[in-house]
Amino acid sequence: MDLDISAPLAESLLAAAHAHPVVVLDVSGVTFADSAFLNLLLRPIP
């Protein structure tokens, strides 16, 4: 998970958050995540 995946993931998470009251993101298979990914997870939902 890095800067290249942040925009598409952000769009998908935003769509899921607007469609469902709870969204669970399973990242158990992720072996690398940089600060862009962490920033994405910590952003408030607009």
Q: According to the model, what pLDDT value does residue 3 have?
A: 83
- What does pTM read for this prediction? 0.79
Residue numbers of the domain that contains 27: 3-42
Distances from the Cα of 36 to the Cα of 13, 20, 22, angstroms: 15, 24, 22
Q: According to the model, what pLDDT value does residue 4 have?
A: 85
Question: Taking a C-beta distance cutoff of 8 angstroms, is the pair 17, 23 a contact?
Answer: yes
What tens-digit pLDDT sequence spans the chain (46 residues)?
888 888 899 999 999 999 999 999 999 999 999 999 999 989 888 8
Question: Taking a C-beta distance cutoff of 8 angstroms, is the pair 7, 33 a contact?
Answer: no
Say how many domains are in the chain. Answer: 1
